[in-house]
Chain A
């Protein structure tokens, strides 16, 4: 299973690859977007000119050009994707040669699951689904699995260890599924992966990076390894994960749009990216050696938000591989790669908050010497994914400003005849609006057309009528959601640029979604802005008000929208009505079916329920098995010199830790800061001592907190 390894610690020899030049595809693609933007920008400029030119009009035009260009790029991606899907695309990684007969017996692959305080039950069940699927291919022994924990919460730590051990026992997978927790989570996820590579990377020719919510089919994993073996210059292959397991209405809408629209978008993306693709951080296979040599990320100079550690590491890692002439491909037609998505508007925004800061930071590396132009394009599109929101807000505000100035001037509206279109200004504006709508809606229409000509896919989406109805409803929802995204993203961009952090209190969810109180806390600002803005526009320009109705409706209705779309009951009702169906719902693969069954069973047993605070700590100290697992793992950790040094640096083995442990017994863990708890739980000898003391001592020598914890075992 081990790949022949070079001398320990020595960098492996990698022959430099020839520099491949980009072809005509980027030119054709981007030029078509620029041409479309140019024509529509002319129409818009003509409209603005009809009532006299001004500085604010120049600003409005610039904003329009940027925003329309972004929309045009999206539209062109969909058009190119649609055409290629209909005509057949041979320039894709799976079509570049016969890889299916490739022998992978000499290839060793690690499948890694970096986790950070996520539900250990979910992680282990996702891993189990992937593991079992891989075993069914008969190629399972070519792969090892690693849960790479960066968890800082002692309860998550305990839960992970216990669940991992149970999983290993249940699957008879000792020596196949491993667990490692870092002592310090330096460098976050990229540091976590880097630590794995420094410790075990040389054992594996490839590694597949998964997220905590990733599931991958066994045959897909085998195909990925075969593709890597068949194409030695390829450094990374990214799959396109399908969203699964959504229950809430919001989650199901996202899941549906991801599954319906992604095929044409990704085919279009592959058209211009080709071997200069991108990495999305998970569900991708990576050639270990070049990654180890070229992708350890440097610290960026300066202070936050742009300096320091690179937060969104994936784009930069792909750029670094491309810089060294390794190929990065999107295996967009490889099915069997899955992930989960946020189940509510607020959770979605929380995730966006993290991504926004990371993407904005990419400005620093946008002009890095040696990066390929396609990498810069990926980075730029990522940056504008968030920057577009404040630009859109500015566009709307500038328009309002122009109306305000006009109203205050007391002048009447006199317009001259347009140069390009000889129609009245209202019709002129309407034509531009219709073009903009076409550019925004065409991808959805093309996705539905693409579905219409594929009988099997049509059935998987519940039929053409239901899919079309779902797409219409999805469009209505997106229209209401977009203004909220605009406000949120603007807030994130501004706070990120100012180096501020946004305080998100813990999500208050009930069994069936977001609570009204939490929604009010998060959305009251949006509601007030929507009411104020709507009123202002109504007062300024009643005719323009109706154009603003979709924008302000989303804001005003944000609280009920957030609560209702987070409801799984509404998600189930939509499913029963045949709305937002996806292939994984109508014809789920065995892996997803099995995963759902197990999760339902665990839910019935109460094993997925949120546990009380300190329950993990109580398990480590009181539960004879969890304690033994924890201590065994701590002892094994000492074998790694880097971890042994880190433990020593932490203070493990000093008398102070024993004093803290005594305090824990006498005063209870609730009296101790988390850092002290972590320190105590990092000392194997102290944890063994705590186990004995907690069970040996009479009640009067223990804090009252321990009594109910001990009684919980007496069933």
Chain B
């Protein structure tokens, strides 16, 4: 059984590479591409190194196939594009959605479904694996939609005019409910003033 890295990466039928390069690109370029793809899978909270390594290799294989025919495109870009195609294609299969036409919507919905189905916590081994998938996983992926709010029940609120007029209130002072009480206090205060005046001459 051949376990060499080269056999895992080199596309079948590809010409042999000179030392220091793979699929016609320097090794450093593929190293950067590897790091980028690995970062993305880690951003998806894939923590199992074996699974991540396996998926990165899968992506790089596809990128290397393209590298032979698209020499002007940087390896990092090729790898990132292949990762995007791979992930979006897988979302289309799992979610039973057409892959073409609305890949942006599909990618968003797929990532949302991964999050809500708690792929990093429960289903890491199912990610990017070809079907069939466990029923529970498929159900979790297909049936979870983000619901940020219930159905709208739109209504209007209009501020009612507020008559602030202190003058108007003062002119209608006679209708103030505590008038008698306030007058009582005022008389009490007046009595104190008079008492004070009378006793402090």
Residue in A42, A175, A203, A624 whose beta carbon sits within 8 Å of that of B153 in the complex = A203
Chain A residues within 8 Å of B16, by CB: none
> Please, which residue of chain B has its CB at the minimum distance from the CB of A639?
B152
Residues on A lying within 8 angstroms of B by beta carbon are 5, 8-9, 11, 21-22, 26-27, 30-31, 34-35, 38, 41-42, 45-46, 49, 53, 144, 146, 165, 169, 174-175, 178-180, 194, 197-203, 292-294, 296-301, 320, 364-370, 373, 419, 622-625, 627-629, 631-633, 636, 639-642, 685, 688-689, 692, 695-699, 710-711, 713-715
Q: Closest 3 interchain pairs by CB? A: A628-B111, A367-B166, A369-B163
Given known contacts A165-B146, A169-B115, A296-B160, A198 and B84 CB-to-CB distance under 8 angstroms: no
Q: Which of B112, B154, B159, B195 contacts A629 (CB 8 A)?
A: B112
Select one of B112, B164, B196 contacting A367, CB under 8 A. B164
Distance between Cα atoms of A267 and B106 in the complex (Å): 59
> Which of B77, B154, B177, B195 meets A199, CB within 8 Å?
B154
Contact at B169–A629, with CB atoms within 8 Å? no
Residue in chain A with minimal CB distance to B146 = A632
Residues in B whose Cβ lies below 8 Å from that of A711: 39
Bound-complex Cα distance A624 to B113 (A): 11
Q: Is the CB of A633 within 8 A of B146?
A: yes
Q: Give, as a whole number of angstroms, the nearest-CB distance from A562 to chain B.
A: 40
Inter-chain contact B185/A34, CB cutoff 8 Å = yes
Tell me which residues across on chain B come within 8 A of A194, comparing CB atoms: 157
Other than the known A27-B181, A367-B164, A369-B164, what 14 A-B pairs have Cβ atoms closer than 8 Å?
A42-B192, A42-B196, A46-B200, A197-B155, A200-B149, A202-B153, A292-B155, A296-B157, A368-B169, A419-B199, A632-B112, A633-B148, A710-B39, A713-B40
Check A31 against B181 for contact (C-beta < 8 Å). Answer: yes
- Of A45, A53, A370, A636, the residue contacting B149 (CB under 8 A) is A636
The B153-192 residues at the A interface (CB cut-off 8 A) are 153-166, 168-170, 176-178, 181, 184-185, 188-189, 192
B159 to A297, Cβ gap below 8 A? yes
Judge if B108 is at the interface, Cβ distance under 8 Å: yes
Taken together as a complex, chains A and B put the C-alpha atoms of A715 and B47 apart, in Å, by 9
Residues of B within 8 Å of A629, CB to CB, are 112, 115, 146
Would A197 and B169 be within 8 Å (CB), given that A179-B148, A624-B40, A692-B84 are in contact?
no
Report B-chain residues with C-beta under 8 Å of the C-beta of A146: 149
CB B193 to nearest CB in A, in angstroms, measures 9
Bound-state CA distance A41–B169 (Å) is 30
CB <8 Å contact, B177 and A368 = no
Instruction: Please tell me if the beta carbons of B192 and A623 are within 8 angstroms of each other in the complex.
Output: no
**Contact between chains at B160 and A636 (CB < 8 Å):** no
- With A178-B148, A688-B104, A695-B36: A197-B157 Cβ-Cβ less than 8 Å: yes
Can you report 8 residue pairs joining A to B where beta carbons are below 8 Å apart? A9-B155, A201-B157, A296-B159, A298-B160, A368-B169, A419-B200, A629-B115, A695-B40
**Minimum Cβ distance to chain A for residue B51 (Å):** 15
Shortest CB-to-CB span from B74 to chain A, Å, is 5
Closest chain-A Cβ to B3's Cβ sits at a distance in Å of 25
Smallest CB-CB separation from A27: which chain B residue? B181
Tell me how many residues of B have a C-beta within 8 Å of chain A. Answer: 66
Interface of A is mostly: helix
In the bound complex, do residue A624 and residue B43 qualify as a contact, i.e. CB atoms below 8 Å apart? Answer: yes
Could you say which residues of chain A place their CB within 8 Å of the CB of B38? 714
Find chain A residues with CB under 8 A from B177 CB: 21-22, 373
- Determine the chain A residues whose CB is within 8 A of the CB of B67 once the complex forms: none
Q: Which residue of B lies closest to A366 (CB)?
A: B166
The answer to whether B162 and A368 have CB atoms under 8 Å apart is: yes
Tell me if A367 and B169 are in contact (CB < 8 A).
yes
B33 to chain A, nearest CB (A): 9
Whether B192 lies near A622 (C-beta < 8 A) is: no
A41, A639, A695 — which one has the most chain B CB atoms within 10 A of its CB?
A695
CB pair A165–B115 under 8 Å, yes or no, is yes
**Beta-carbon contact of A685 and B104 below 8 Å:** yes
Q: Is the CB of A31 within 8 A of B150?
A: no
> Once the chains bind, are B185 and A169 in contact (CB under 8 Å)?
no
Q: A8-B154, A169-B116, A692-B84 are in contact. Are A300 and B39 (CB under 8 A)?
A: no
A320 to B164, CA, bound (A): 13
Contacts of B188 in A (CB 8 A): 34-35, 38
Question: Distance in Å from the Cβ of A574 to the closest Cβ of chain B?
Answer: 41
Complex Cα gap A394–B70 (Å): 83
Measured between beta carbons, the chain A residues less than 8 angstroms from B110 are 628
Question: Is the CB–CB distance between A144 and B111 below 8 Å?
Answer: no
Question: Does B44 count as interface, using CB distance less than 8 angstroms?
Answer: yes
In angstroms, Cα B80 to Cα A640, docked, is 36
Does the CB pair B111–A698 fall under 8 Å?
A: no
The 8 Å CB contact of A640, one of B45, B108, B152, B163, is B152
B35 within 8 A of A: yes
Instruction: Select B148's contact among A180, A297, A622, A628, beta carbons within 8 Å.
Output: A180
- Are A202 and B163 interface neighbours, CB within 8 A? no
Specify which chain B residues have a CB less than 8 angstroms from the CB of A296 in the assembled complex: 157-160
Q: How far is the CB of B142 from chain A (nearest CB, A)?
A: 14
Question: Inside 8 A of B115's CB, which chain A residues have their CB?
Answer: 165, 169, 625, 628-629
CA distance A370 to B169 in the complex (A): 9
A274 CB to nearest B CB, Å: 15
The answer to whether B76 touches A364, judged by C-beta atoms less than 8 angstroms apart, is no
CA distance in complex: A517, B25 (Å): 56
Question: Is B48 at the interface (CB under 8 A from chain A)?
Answer: no
Determine which residue in A292, A298, A365, A698 has the highest number of CB atoms from chain B within 10 A of its CB, and name it.
A698
Minimum CB–CB distance from A522 to chain B (whole Å) comes to 36
